[in-house]
Amino acid sequence: MKTAIFQYYKAKDKVPDSVRIVTSRFKKYADAIGADYIFDDECNNTGNVYFENLRIVYDEMFDQYDKILYADTDIVVENFEENIFDEDIKEIGMVPEIVLSGMCDLPFHTFPHIELEYRSWASRFSIPIYKPTFGSGSYLMLNSGIIVWTKKGREKAKKRFMDWQQWNNTVTHRHLKLDQPYINGQVQKHLQYTELPSKWNMYPRTRFKSGLEPKEINFVHYTGGKKEWIGDLYE
Burial, 22: exposed, middle or buried (Cβ in 10 Å; 0-12, 13-18, 19+)?
buried
DSSP per position, 156-184: HHHHHSPPHHHHHHH--SGGGGSHHHHHH
Q: Supply the pLDDT for residue 133.
A: 84
Find the farthest-apart pair of alpha carbons in the chain and give their distance in angstroms, rounded: 47
Q: Are strands 3-8 and 36-40 parallel, antiparallel or unpaired?
A: parallel
Count of alpha carbons within 13 angstroms of residue 48, beta-carbon side:
12
Q: Supply the pLDDT for residue 206.
A: 61
Q: Supply the pLDDT for residue 104.
A: 60
| Angle of CA points 148, 194, 44, to nearest 5° | 30
Give the count of domains, the chain.
1
CA 198 to CA 166: how far, in whole Å? 31
Q: Name the percent of the chain lying above pLDDT 90.
A: 66
Question: Which residues lie closer than 8 Å to 64 by C-beta, 6 or more apart?
Answer: 2
The CATH number given to whatever domain includes residue 35 is 3.90.550.10
Average pLDDT, the chain: 90
- Residues in the chain predicted with pLDDT less than 70, given as ranges, are 99-106, 135-136, 205-213
The string of pLDDT tens digits covering residues 83-96 is 999 999 999 999 99
Domain with 185, as residue range(s), is 3-234
Which residues face 38 on adjacent strands? 6
Q: Supply the pLDDT for residue 97.
A: 86
Do residues 187 and 94 make contact, with C-beta atoms less than 8 angstroms apart? yes
CA 108 to CA 25: how far, in whole Å? 28
CA 71 to each of CA 24, 122, 178, 208: distance values in angstroms, whole numbers, following the listed order: 13, 26, 16, 23
